[in-house]
């Protein structure tokens, strides 16, 4: 794609961007602060910049007087880069020189990780969906050839497609005789690969092989994600330019919602407790199924796919969510020695669980490892490809439960820590999922404390998602609004830091710049929650590595999964001590790792065996047996960390002593 | 080959601080070895003992603890003088019990006045401790800091929620901050970093790691004091290389064992509390304490003997 060069004065910082990039976004990526409080919608008029040379597409705006427009001023958020341009940052957005020097020492470049190219993580598999359709034609029965209808069909499959050892789903037999005759002995069969061979689960009239869809669902403790996949998509075509975006690959539609079980408990433990009440288990199962049905509905409606064409449902979930989804009593997950009912769940019919899909559709559930290391992490490891590579990889799934795996193709060890849902927007006053209207990037001016915020969809903000939170807290500490314990300095000259109903808070967006009837703020309690979440994940990684005699510096690669946003600013994640300080190029961000694995599994039956192999080879560490975890946790409850020597670059950039 | 005593390889040294002023000022810190490991390094400043003085007459004290101070409990100045002249206190720890909102809830101004009176009447360093109610202490100790400018007091307990207010007062009026955290090495280090960021200089900071009395958590205190010293001296952790203060008398003397009268099983009450205080103090010295806040003259005597025996 055509690259354009943007130079920002007076700092002289420049960045190359794609032609057509938004100017405000480009500034954020270059680490240039421009005041902007409406999320980039042109409503606040604060992001005025002067175009010195070059061209940008930028409309007139009611927030910009005509004479200023004539003088070369534009609103950065409304400007599209078309040329090499030189942009002057006006005085109100500038940061003073002493700060610029400090900014100059930052990491080579702000590093935004997006879930790109992750398709390449897993190697050496062919597109051969677990559930597939084949078209067969049969001769009608005759006096000389009077084998049964089923045998006739099985023989035809064997003869025409060389598929042997096919068993049959009983339910199909009920309608088979009439169906074969109605179809004039020309049918499309749906076969599913199981542990014991192939199973014939459906037959349709005529040739329907071109329409074969699968739905994958990640049931998180806090959030449920679903995607509709077209199993007939050709991989090579989809990846022709080598720029596969793994988060979207083959997905025709996606939908998400909060897990409605939240009303019965925020974390897995309180939900297990609730399930023990009379009718509790049934209730929890019903609400999650209802929510999945809604997601399926949304997927089908937005893609226009008929429900009868969906042949497969793949579920990745942690062990508790798996058992609650299946209606299996999770009581013993919570009682020592913490044993799940089953790690390998046999396939069953979706309809039996109350899922509104065709009655031939079977559910594949990712195998679990232990009570607190579930199928979601197995799916993540599958999707990350770490089980295939010799280099040492750390996989972190940052969810309500932080799940961490270290290892390579020869060994895998895991642990799980109760992180809290802060990165998914729960437990944060204005927290939300990474959907339209969520503040996803934040920069703060170190002199005036004015923010620069960008929202998903460039609309006025309605809340803040995980990636925005990471940015905001990193910036609050970097400009000296909060101390290293996450508490506000109370003597700053700005109206943005004030005492609110929940204690001290920072105003990210005043009410007029939002779509709410309220100011969007970040409170001291929000920051505490975030610190606890990041502390527990960092400590979980540290203890896992220590238990196998390793340290962060030994890692070749770190793969991060999590639903906190569309991308992750590594530099800022290190600044708050969520991630260890390491070379940027060792990190990969895969977005929702469980969905990635579930998607791959839908496309490849070889990976079905791999998923089981992964579950079996993973050694789980019970953190409650490691007294050092509590120590590491308390040490991590600090920004960036009590062990300042582990974060030398961050420490260099903290505000000088006041 | 002759036997060589294995020696620890130290990489750090405790920072020096000076408390109080004039000829009776107290120097702390500078040790480069574990407590009393004089075969490995030096302890240029031996541990010091501060005697408690309360700003209001104590109620519910054990008879044994009250006995030596019976004649002075209503006069903090006289109490402090007696502690120095008769019992040889290196320092005085003025406990502002009256300011506790659950007790008399005395005003910051009253507390500051008492502090000034006591501190001006004596020549040894004064440690001023509030009631450990974070909000109240913030007001009280700020006022004390202001009114007693230049007296180089030690103000405490400085805790996570009031460190900014008390720290700022300590900086502005040149006092030393006693950073108090609940028996945790990481929390101790975090508060030291925060106070440092606020502008408290390294020679104006002392660690109060919280003390449990004998039988009431002394193992935890011992372990944390010891770990802080190990991190400071053997792991070179700069943010933990500060002297430590142990506020132990309160903890020992409030226990049931210290207050119960004579029994067949536990013996004489006149000795029991004293022994408990002495043992608590000795344990903390072995773990790494630099200042002990103590109460009973007999317990103090035993501890002094121990120090001189171990450094002879």
pLDDT tens-digit readout, A591-617: 888 988 888 888 887 888 888 899 999
Give B16→chain A minimum CA distance, Å: 21
- Asked if A642's CB is within 8 angstroms of B197's CB, the reply is no
pLDDT at A233: 62
- Would residue A171 count as lying in a domain? yes
Which residues of chain A make contact with B160, given a CB cutoff of 8 A? 485
Judgement on whether residues A252 and A341 belong to the same structural domain of the protein? yes
Give A535→chain B minimum CA distance, Å: 13
Q: Lowest mean pLDDT: which of A1-10, A424-433, B131-140, B237-246?
A: A1-10
Judgement on whether residues A243 and A343 belong to the same structural domain of the protein? yes
Contact (Cβ atoms closer than 8 angstroms) between residue B258 and residue B272? yes
Q: What is the DSSP letter of B202?
A: G
Residue A156, pLDDT > 70, answer: yes
Domain B20-311: what homologous superfamily?
Dihydropteroate synthase-like (3.20.20.20)
- Would residue A402 count as lying in a domain? no
CATH of the domain at A317: 3.30.420.480
Q: Is A489 on the interface with B (CB under 8 A)?
A: yes
Binned at pLDDT 50, 70 and 90, residue A589 comes out as confident
Where do the domains of chain B lie?
20-311
- Asked if A490's CB is within 8 angstroms of B164's CB, the reply is yes
Which residues of chain A make contact with B196, given a CB cutoff of 8 A? 657
Which residues of chain A make contact with B194, given a CB cutoff of 8 A? 483-485
**Residue A355: is it exposed, middle or buried by C-beta count within 10 angstroms (0-12/13-18/19+)?**
buried
Residue A40, pLDDT > 90, answer: no
A348 vs A169, A315, A326, A360, CA distance in Å?
11, 12, 10, 10
Binned at pLDDT 50, 70 and 90, residue A562 comes out as confident
A463 vs A38, A222, A397, B95, CA distance in Å?
12, 17, 23, 48
- Would residue A486 count as lying in a domain? no
| Helical pair B185-198 and B218-233, crossing angle rounded to 10 deg | 60
- Asked if A489's CB is within 8 angstroms of B197's CB, the reply is no
Q: Check residues A658 and B250 and name the one with the higher pLDDT.
A: B250
Give the residue among B299, B300, B304, B250 at the shortest CA–CA distance from B276.
B299
- Asked if A490's CB is within 8 angstroms of B193's CB, the reply is no
- Asked if B198's CB is within 8 angstroms of A485's CB, the reply is no
Judgement on whether residues A95 and A136 belong to the same structural domain of the protein? no
CATH of the domain at A36: 3.10.20.30
**Residue A468: is it exposed, middle or buried by C-beta count within 10 angstroms (0-12/13-18/19+)?**
buried
Query: What is the arithmetic mean of pLDDT over B182-203?
Result: 95
Separation CA A21–CA A27 (nearest Å) = 10
pLDDT at A510: 94
Q: Which of A489, A490, A634 is closest, CB to CB, to B187? A: A634
- B191 to chain A: closest CA residue: A485
- Asked if B184's CB is within 8 angstroms of A489's CB, the reply is no
Separation CA B152–CA B128 (nearest Å) = 11
Q: Last residue of a domain, which of A333, A359, A377?
A: A377
pLDDT in tens, A434-475: 888 899 999 998 888 999 999 988 889 999 999 999 999 999
Residue A496, pLDDT > 90, answer: yes
**Tokens (6 digits) for B250:** 């309160």
Binned at pLDDT 50, 70 and 90, residue A656 comes out as low
| Residue A143 CB neighbour total at 10 angstroms | 5
Full domain range(s) for residue A21: 3-106
Q: Within its chain, how far is the Cα of A331 from the centroid?
A: 29
Judgement on whether residues A63 and A143 belong to the same structural domain of the protein? no
DSSP string across A351-373: GGGT--S-TT-EEEEPPP-BTTB
pLDDT at B165: 94
**Tokens (6 digits) for A162:** 């060389």
Residue B183, pLDDT > 90, answer: yes
pLDDT in tens, B37-85: 999 999 999 999 999 999 999 988 999 999 999 999 999 999 999 999 9
pLDDT at A640: 94
- Would residue A95 count as lying in a domain? yes
Spatial CB neighbours of A400, under 8 Å, sequence gap ≥ 6 = A220, A221, A222, A266, A267, A268, A418, A419, A420, A421, A424, A426
Judgement on whether residues A219 and A186 belong to the same structural domain of the protein? no
Which residues of chain B make contact with A489, given a CB cutoff of 8 A? 164
- Asked if B193's CB is within 8 angstroms of A642's CB, the reply is yes
pLDDT at A118: 44
Residue A340, pLDDT > 80, answer: yes
Q: Which of A487, A638, A657 is closest, CB to CB, to B196? A: A657
Q: Where are the alpha helices (DSSP H) in A201-355?
A: 235-238, 268-275, 280-303, 319-326
Q: What is the DSSP letter of A583?
A: -
pLDDT in tens, A185-205: 999 999 988 778 899 999 999
Q: Is A644 on the interface with B (CB under 8 A)?
A: yes
Q: Is A238 on the interface with B (CB under 8 A)?
A: no
Q: Last residue of a domain, which of A73, A106, A139?
A: A106
Domains contained in chain A, number? 3
Judgement on whether residues A232 and A156 belong to the same structural domain of the protein? no
**Tokens (6 digits) for A458:** 């460039």
Residues of B near A (CB-CB distance < 8 A)?
Answer: 160-161, 164, 184-187, 189-190, 193-194, 196-199, 239
Judgement on whether residues A201 and A238 belong to the same structural domain of the protein? no
Query: What is the arithmetic mean of pLDDT over A283-311?
Result: 92
Judgement on whether residues A146 and A265 belong to the same structural domain of the protein? no
Residue of B187, B190, B240 to mutate, testing the A interface (most A Cβ within 10 Å of its Cβ): B190
Separation CA B107–CA B103 (nearest Å) = 12
Q: Check residues A146 and A114 and name the one with the higher pLDDT.
A: A146
pLDDT at A624: 84
Spatial CB neighbours of A166, under 8 Å, sequence gap ≥ 6 = A154, A157, A158, A191, A197, A198, A199, A200
- Would residue A52 count as lying in a domain? yes
Residue A140, pLDDT > 90, answer: yes
Separation CA A289–CA A261 (nearest Å) = 10
Q: Last residue of a domain, which of A359, A377, A395?
A: A377
Residue B283, pLDDT > 90, answer: yes
Percent with pLDDT over 90 in chain B: 95
**Tokens (6 digits) for A552:** 């962060």
Look up the ipTM and state it. Answer: 0.83
pLDDT at A610: 87
Q: Is A550 on the interface with B (CB under 8 A)?
A: no
pLDDT at A1: 62
Q: Lowest mean pLDDT: which of A251-255, A341-345, A353-357?
A: A251-255
Give B194→chain A minimum CA distance, Å: 7
Task: Output the average pLDDT for chain A.
Answer: 86
Binned at pLDDT 50, 70 and 90, residue A93 comes out as low
Give B248→chain A minimum CA distance, Å: 25
Q: Is A60 on the interface with B (CB under 8 A)?
A: no
Query: What is the arithmetic mean of pLDDT over A533-558?
Result: 95
Q: Check residues A511 and A92 and name the one with the higher pLDDT.
A: A511
Judgement on whether residues A196 and A264 belong to the same structural domain of the protein? no
Contact (Cβ atoms closer than 8 angstroms) between residue B27 and residue B45? yes
């Amino acid at each position: 794609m055509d690259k354009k060069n943007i130079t920002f004065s007076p700092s002289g910082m420049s960045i190359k961007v794609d032609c057509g990039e938004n100017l405000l976004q480009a500034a954020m990526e270059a680490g240039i602060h421009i005041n902007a409080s409406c999320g980039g919608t042109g409503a606040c008029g604060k992001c005025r910049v002067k175009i010195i040379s070059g061209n940008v597409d930028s409309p007139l705006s009611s927030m910009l007087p005509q004479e200023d427009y004539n003088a070369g001023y534009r609103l950065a958020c409304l400007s599209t880069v078309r040329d090499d341009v030189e942009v002057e940052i006006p005085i109100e957005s500038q940061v003073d020189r002493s700060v610029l020097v400090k900014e100059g020492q930052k990491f080579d470049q702000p590093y935004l990780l997006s879930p790109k190219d992750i398709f390449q993580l897993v190697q050496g598999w062919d597109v051969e969906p677990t559930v597939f359709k084949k078209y067969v034609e049969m001769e009608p029965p005759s006096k000389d050839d009077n084998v049964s209808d089923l045998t006739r069909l099985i023989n035809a499959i064997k003869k025409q497609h060389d598929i042997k050892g096919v068993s049959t789903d009983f339910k199909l037999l009920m309608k088979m005789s009439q169906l074969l005759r109605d179809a004039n002995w020309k049918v499309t069969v749906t076969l599913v690969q199981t542990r014991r061979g192939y199973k014939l689960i459906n037959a349709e009239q005529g040739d329907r092989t071109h329409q074969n869809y699968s739905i994958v669902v990640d049931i998180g403790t806090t959030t449920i994600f679903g995607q509709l996949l077209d199993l007939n998509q050709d991989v090579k075509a989809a990846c022709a330019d080598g720029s596969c975006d793994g988060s979207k690959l083959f997905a025709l539609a996606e939908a998400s919602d909060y897990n409605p079980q939240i009303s019965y408990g925020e974390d897995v433990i309180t939900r297990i407790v609730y399930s023990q009440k009379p009718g509790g288990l049934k209730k929890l199962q019903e609400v999650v199924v209802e929510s999945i049905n809604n997601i399926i509905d949304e997927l089908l409606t937005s893609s226009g796919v008929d429900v009868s064409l969906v042949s497969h449902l793949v579920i990745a979930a942690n062990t508790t969510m798996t058992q609650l989804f299946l209606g299996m009593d999770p009581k013993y997950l919570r009682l020592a020695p913490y044993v799940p009912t089953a790690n390998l769940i046999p396939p069953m019919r979706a309809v039996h669980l109350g899922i509104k899909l065709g009655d031939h559709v079977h559910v594949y559930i990712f195998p679990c490892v232990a009570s607190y290391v579930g199928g979601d992490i197995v799916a993540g490891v599958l999707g990350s490809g770490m089980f295939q590579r010799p280099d040492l990889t750390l996989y972190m799934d940052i969810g309500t439960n932080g799940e961490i795996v270290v290892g390579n193709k020869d060994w895998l060890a895991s642990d799980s820590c109760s992180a809290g849902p802060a990165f998914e927007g729960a437990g944060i006053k204005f927290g939300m999922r990474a959907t339209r209207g969520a503040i996803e990037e934040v920069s703060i001016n170190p002199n005036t404390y004015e923010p620069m915020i960008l929202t998903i969809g460039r609309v006025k903000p309605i809340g803040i998602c995980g990636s925005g939170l990471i940015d905001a807290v990193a910036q609050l500490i970097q400009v000296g609004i909060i101390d290293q314990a996450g508490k506000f300095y109370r003597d700053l000259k700005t109206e943005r830091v004030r005492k609110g109903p929940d204690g001290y808070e920072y105003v990210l967006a005043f009410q007029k710049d939002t779509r709410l009837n309220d100011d969007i703020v970040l409170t001291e309690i929000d920051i505490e929650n975030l610190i606890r979440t990041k502390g527990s994940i960092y400590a979980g990684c540290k203890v896992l590595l220590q238990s196998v005699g390793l340290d962060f510096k030994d890692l070749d690669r770190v793969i991060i999964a999590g639903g906190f946003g569309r991308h992750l600013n590594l530099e800022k994640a290190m600044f708050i001590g969520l991630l260890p300080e390491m070379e940027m190029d060792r990190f990969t961000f895969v977005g929702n790792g469980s969905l990635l694995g579930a998607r791959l599994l839908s496309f490849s039956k070889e990976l079905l065996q791999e998923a089981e192999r992964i579950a079996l080879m993973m050694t789980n560490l019970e953190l409650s047996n490691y007294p050092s975890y509590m120590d590491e946790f308390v040490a991590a409850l600090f920004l960036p960390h009590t062990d300042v020597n582990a974060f030398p670059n961050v420490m260099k950039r903290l505000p000088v002593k006041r | 080959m002759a036997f060589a005593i294995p020696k620890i390889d130290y990489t750090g040294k405790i920072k020096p601080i000076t408390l109080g002023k004039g000829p009776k000022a107290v120097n702390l810190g500078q040790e480069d070895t574990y407590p009393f490991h004089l075969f490995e390094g030096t302890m240029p400043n031996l541990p010091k003992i501060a005697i408690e003085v309360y700003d209001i007459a104590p109620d519910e004290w054990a008879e044994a603890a009250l006995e030596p101070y019976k004649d002075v409990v209503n006069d903090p100045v006289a109490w402090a003088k007696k502690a120095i002249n008769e019992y040889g206190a290196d320092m005085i720890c003025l406990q502002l019990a009256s300011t506790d909102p659950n007790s008399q809830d005395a005003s910051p101004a009253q507390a500051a006045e008492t502090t000034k009176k006591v501190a001006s009447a004596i020549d040894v360093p004064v440690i001023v401790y509030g009631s450990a109610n974070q909000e109240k202490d913030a007001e009280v100790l700020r006022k004390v800091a202001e009114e007693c400018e230049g007296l180089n007091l030690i103000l405490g307990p400085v805790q996570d929620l009031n460190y900014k207010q008390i720290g700022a007062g300590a900086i502005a009026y040149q006092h030393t901050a006693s950073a108090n955290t609940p028996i945790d090495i990481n929390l101790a280090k975090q508060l030291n970093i925060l106070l440092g960021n606020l502008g408290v200089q390294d020679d104006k900071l002392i660690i109060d790691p919280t003390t449990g009395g004998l039988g009431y958590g002394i193992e935890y205190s011992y372990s944390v004091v010891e770990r802080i010293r190990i991190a400071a001296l053997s792991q070179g952790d700069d943010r933990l290389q500060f002297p430590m203060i142990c506020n132990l008398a309160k903890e020992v003397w409030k226990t049931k064992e210290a207050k119960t009268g004579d029994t067949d099983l536990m013996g004489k009450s006149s000795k029991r509390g004293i022994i408990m205080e002495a043992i608590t103090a000795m344990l903390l010295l072995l773990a790494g304490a630099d200042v002990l806040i103590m109460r009973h003259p007999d317990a103090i005597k035993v501890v002094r003997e121990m120090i001189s025996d171990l450094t002879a």
